[in-house]
Chains A and B, each alone.
Chain A
Amino acid sequence: MILIRNGHVLDPSQKRDEMADVLIENGTIKAIGKPGEFNSLSVKETFDAAKMLICPGFIDVHVHLREPGFEHKETVLTGSKAAIAGGFTSIAVMANTSPVNDQAIVTKYILEKGREADLARIFAIGAVTKGQKGEELAQIGMMAEAGIVAISDDGMPVMNSALMRRAMEYATMFNLPVISHAEDLNLSQGAPMTEGKVSSLLGYAGNPNASEEIMVSREIALARATGARVHIAHLSTREGVLLVKRAKEQGLKVTAEVTPHHLMMNELSFLNGEQACVHHQTKTDYKMAPPLRSEKDQEALIEALQSGVIDMIASDHAPHGCVDKEVEFELAANGILGLQTTVALMLGLVADRKLSLQRMVEALTVKPAELLGLKNLGTLKVGAMADIVVIDQNLPWQLHAEDLVSRSRNSPFLGRKFQGKVLKTMVGGVWK
């Protein structure tokens, strides 16, 4: 038995927010009690968590681990290390590997790599269409048997509405949510940043908010038509927020996530953020899809996360190497690292009183567990898996490139000073 003593236990799944001791046995939660309640028991290990925050292990529904196919960017092993360092005990990995995770054998390979790494729990998201080409349905059912928890073509959004409708209809048989990267590619035309004052100033093609609004709107319409569970990935616009809010009011099974970078930055960050970007001098670490939007969008996202219109936080951890990032802005790959910085960035929002600690933890535990149907995860209820994260909310630290355990270095937050850090992460009763 392991005893975690004197911690501030925050578990939104059971509305627990108090000083408590947590008792762990055989990899599961044995009991939670008042401080000192278990002192008479003989335990193998006692961890003194005084002044620390104890939460269910965090769950990230949107991660790219690049294996198989792009192991120079990240592997399941290095990505799992980043997850553990960042307090994530469960992560769901997107299908845009090479080969694409569009059939059971790829799913099994990824899950096997996860077991070999033996760090965080790895869940796989299958492709919607074969090769993520948007032409024919992938073998969704056989992937479901192999263990996928959702389907998504992510950055290669299905532009054909009829095909997306069929995918949703099909997914309902397996109770799989359909995750949509909501971007009308005909409208965004590969533009490298948001259409706005910065793209205008610098002469870059702009990706307008409307490209997201149109596709969020379509996905909601299809969710209504099919009864499917639809999850909007990395919501980035205030218009998208309004649509999701309305869909929820109408009782549709629509959920949404937001990334820390869309909450913490906006289009001006690219213009002004030269100092923060110490590794890739190209400023391409401010390039991602969807792009950083305006200050108004940023504010709307923060409010929607706090109010619950946006259900959860997801990192969209997207490792890329120098070859992909130290190039002209328009040619650079989309995406940034997220697993190791998400919690610290979100604690910053909490410190600024823009987000409650309870909502933050809910958005990293119960909500993602519900989306992916993960039983006994994201909670500290008795009998649940002993996946636990220990956080020191007051510890100041600075992110250096050498601190990153990911194989890549593409973070615009390098050099940033934080307050609050993940200290320890436990998966299945074992400190990782």
Chain B
Amino acid sequence: MIPASLTSIRTLDQATILQFLDLGQSIKSNPSAYQGALKGKTILQFFVENSTRTRMSFESATRKLGGTSIAFVSGTSSLSKGETLLDTIRTIQQNGIDAIVMRHSSSGSPELIAKTTKISVINAGDGSHEHPTQALLDAFTMAEKWGLHFKQTNPFAKKTILILGDTLHSRVARSNIHLLTRLGARVFVSGPSTLTIKNFELFPKVEWVAFPDKILGEVDAVMALRIQLERQAQGLIPSKEEYRHFWGLTSERAKKLRNGACVLHPGPMNRGVEVDPEVADSPQSLVLKQVENGVYVRMAVLSKLLGGLES
């Protein structure tokens, strides 16, 4: 069943995930057939944390479906202006909004809004919690590369994927762990112990290796995560040089990958830290495809949630 809101991958079953992804493939193969799907609908891009790529992607998706996009952009929380988040949303709701695309620095905020208002909420990243559409577009992009479709269950059953880097603070990693395992993939996580999710007990099965080198030859895809440069000042890594030395996707490491294995990054990239420029620009890299497919996947999510379309 398609939920009213998309706040996390964790709470979705495989069938729902497959529906989103399958519709995304249909839209990509024939975008013009969907151009009226959001006709008369207004989507608020509510970004209470800096973001350009995700917001642009959602705005583009909204317009391609014939919907109207309104932006509410603020670098700070509502509370700093003396208004609570709930009051801000209640106010916004009165402007005739059909859905809110929400980016917020506090984990769980989209769920809070989805529960306390009647409005449809799409989580565009909440704290270190989840970024569901990013995980959807990642899976979409890998499937496209591998020539897979989403008509049957467990499409990634024979695939092994490595998530490399700061999983502790990564909403992209959390959403992907849930999504990739739901689709049947084997998932490895690698990164410094100071930047790795502390406890996987409530997650689906993932395997952690401190250093990626010994498993690089076994994986079908590597997803390098962005390393925030302030992690050094926070005492979590000694330096970006040491990070690159052990966990960077360098050209040397990329050579250990199998033929046909692909490289992903949610962006923005720190070239020369978590990924070398030669790797980011190599034929293995799906980085720009991820951005392109993000629009189709978000079109699929918006049309499904707002009830306009069946695939």
Contact = CB atoms under 8 A, between A and B. Distances in A.
A200 B77 contact: no
Given A202-B108, A203-B174, A323-B84, A330 B198 contact: no
A200 B107 contact: no
B109 A328 contact: yes
Nearest to A205: B128
A329 interface: yes
A41 interface: no
B85 interface: yes
B106 A331 contact: yes
B19 to A, nearest CB: 24
14 contacts: A199-B198, A201-B10, A203-B126, A203-B127, A204-B107, A204-B108, A204-B127, A206-B198, A281-B112, A282-B116, A323-B84, A328-B104, A329-B106, A329-B112
Contact of A328 (B108, B128, B200): B108
Contacts of B85: 327-328
Interface string B89-109: 000000000000000101111
B84 A203 contact: no
B34 to A, nearest CB: 33
Interface in A201-256: 201-206
Interface of A: 195-206, 271, 281-283, 323, 326-331
A203 B198 contact: no
A282 B84 CA distance: 12
B298 interface: no
B115 interface: yes
B199 interface: yes
B199 A196 contact: yes
Contacts of B197: 200
B252 interface: no
Contacts of A202: 107-108, 129
Given A203-B128, A203-B129, A328 B106 contact: yes
Interface string B235-246: 000000000000
Contacts of A282: 112, 116
B125 to A, nearest CB: 10
Contacts of B104: 328
A281 B200 CA distance: 27
Interface residues of B, number: 29
Nearest to A282: B112
A281 B108 contact: no
Q: Which of B108, B130, B200, B201 has the most A CB atoms < 10 Å from its CB?
A: B108
A204 B128 contact: yes
A240 B10 CA distance: 34
B198 A195 contact: yes
A205 B112 CA distance: 18
A197 B198 CA distance: 8
Contacts of A199: 198-199
Contact of B84 (A204, A281, A326): A326
A200 B200 contact: yes
B105 to A, nearest CB: 8
A197 B199 contact: yes
Contacts of B202: 197-198, 200-201, 271
Contacts of A271: 202
Contacts of A331: 77, 79, 106
B203 interface: yes
A200 B115 CA distance: 22
A224 B104 CA distance: 48
A328 B198 contact: no
A330 B106 CA distance: 6
Contacts of B84: 323, 326-327
A396 B168 CA distance: 45
A373 to B, nearest CB: 43
A416 B201 CA distance: 28
B86 interface: yes
